[in-house]
């Protein structure tokens, strides 16, 4: 083996330099963490910014009707569509942007700065003007009354994640590993298909937590999965309680945007098994990096059976205010 010639060394150095200069999710989020020039000073406390994750070109019609429906709600301040698919032709994006801007002045299309799944949690300090942020997918429709109910539940529990789809972590005692699963009676993870949380958590996810958080965001990038689980870790790490699950009256779930467009071609059960396994692995890794397991179980669903009532916290429990 001969030692590298000077020109080889130069090439390696140039490659390193280029790698450093290429925009990555890290550089895009560091801009996001240092806002210029007019960060929003007065957050609106009684409105919601809706962040819809857009990915699939075939679902643009659903996406448009979803965005329009949200934008008409009196609870909604604005709707940001976060386009996360870097392979969508600019022609389609431009057409969509035109369509959206002609239909409403409170719907905005943002193409994510990178293909990182972490981008869906960028704090967007110049665009998100509300305390409350609804994170949702382009393939999930929740009826208007349930949407309002989710917001009412969140209003009484502003530090929690409130959502309508839940999963769970559990310990595999034989392998001494964490697994990702569904329990009939308890849950510890709310899915980003539809979750309401405060804006601060986006900042915490993207900008805080030091090297540990950076390492966990990297795990999300390398697996292209688990950003939703990591958000649940971030919130649970600061609240030490589990999320809140709300029973929605009507939900339409058109499918998981990550699993289509030919990215996975194996059979459904094999694909689901793999998906579950890598999510269990994420939980194990996040636990290892964080040095503790912050996820906590919650039990039961909050249901809107009593109509127009507020929810109050009493002795750590969620109750209707007139009780």
Q: Would you name the residues annotated as active-site residues? A: 228
Nearest-CB residue for ligand NAG: 209
Written as six digits, the tokens of 150 are 């989710």
Q: What is the DSSP letter of 3?
A: P
Three-class SS state of 170: strand
The pattern of x and - marking residues 41 through 70 that bind ligand NAG according to CB under 6 A reads -------------------x---x------
State which H helix or E strand residue 97 sits in: helix 90-103
Binding region for ligand NAG (CB under 6 A) out of 177-185, 209-217, 218-226, 300-308: 209-217
Binding window for ligand NAG (CB under 6 A); candidates: 133-141, 233-241, 245-253, 303-311: 233-241
Contacting ligand NAG (CB under 6 A), which of 56, 237, 257, 284? 237
> Is residue 192 involved in binding ligand NAG (CB under 6 A)?
no
Strand 107-111 relative to strand 76-83: parallel, antiparallel, unpaired? parallel
Q: Which residue do the tokens 């510890």 mark?
A: 188
Binding segment (CB under 6 A) for ligand NAG, from list 170-178, 207-215, 245-253, 261-269: 207-215
Q: Is 24 in the site for ligand NAG (CB under 6 A)?
A: no
Q: Are 154 and 196 in contact (CB under 8 A)?
A: yes
Distance from C-alpha of 299 to C-alpha of 74, rounded to nearest angstrom: 31
Residue 104 CA from chain centroid, whole number: 24
- Provide the mask over 86-125, with x wherever binding to ligand NAG is found by CB under 6 A and - wherever it is not: ------x--xx--x--------------------------
* Cα–Cα distance for residue pair 177/282, rounded to 1 Å: 10
Which residues, in sequence order, are CB contacts of 153 under 8 Å at separation 6+?
A: 162, 244, 246, 302, 311, 318
Instruction: Please tell me whether residue 212 binds ligand NAG under the rule CB under 6 A.
Output: yes
Nearer to ligand NAG, 67 or 153 (CB): 67
- Binding footprint of ligand NAG on the chain (CB under 6 A): 60, 64, 92, 95-96, 99, 209, 212-213, 234, 237-238, 290
């Amino acid at each position: 083996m001969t030692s590298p010639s000077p020109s080889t060394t130069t090439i390696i150095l140039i490659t390193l330099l280029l790698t450093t200069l290429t925009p990555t999710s890290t550089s895009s989020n560091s801009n996001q963490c240092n806002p210029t020039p007019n960060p929003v000073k007065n957050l609106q406390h009684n409105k919601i910014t809706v962040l819809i994750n857009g990915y699939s070109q075939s679902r643009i019609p659903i996406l448009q009707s979803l965005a329009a429906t949200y934008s008409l709600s009196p609870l909604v301040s604005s709707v940001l569509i976060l386009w996360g698919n870097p392979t969508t032709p600019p022609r389609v994006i431009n057409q969509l942007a035109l369509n959206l801007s002609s239909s409403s002045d409170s719907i905005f299309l943002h193409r994510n700065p990178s293909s990182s799944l972490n981008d869906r949690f960028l704090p967007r300090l110049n665009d998100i003007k509300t305390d409350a942020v609804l994170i949702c997918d382009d393939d999930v429709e929740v009826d208007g009354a349930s949407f309002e109910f989710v917001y009412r539940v969140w209003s009484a529990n502003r530090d929690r994640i409130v959502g309508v789809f839940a999963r769970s972590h559990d310990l595999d005692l034989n392998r001494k590993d964490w697994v990702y699963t569904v329990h009939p009676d308890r849950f510890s993870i709310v899915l980003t298909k539809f979750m309401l949380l405060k804006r601060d958590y986006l900042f915490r996810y993207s900008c805080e937590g030091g090297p540990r958080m950076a390492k966990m965001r990297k795990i999300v990038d390398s697996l292209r999965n688990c950003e939703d689980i990591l958000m649940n870790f971030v919130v649970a790490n600061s609240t030490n309680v589990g999320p809140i699950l709300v029973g929605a009256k009507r939900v339409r779930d058109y499918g998981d945007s990550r699993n289509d467009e030919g990215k996975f071609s194996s059979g459904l059960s094999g694909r689901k098994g793999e998906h579950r396994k890598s999510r269990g692995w994420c939980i194990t890794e996040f636990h290892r990096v964080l040095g503790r397991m912050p996820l906590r179980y919650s039990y039961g669903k909050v249901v809107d059976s009593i109509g127009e009532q507020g929810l109050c916290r009493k002795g750590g429990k969620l109750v209707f205010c007139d009780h």
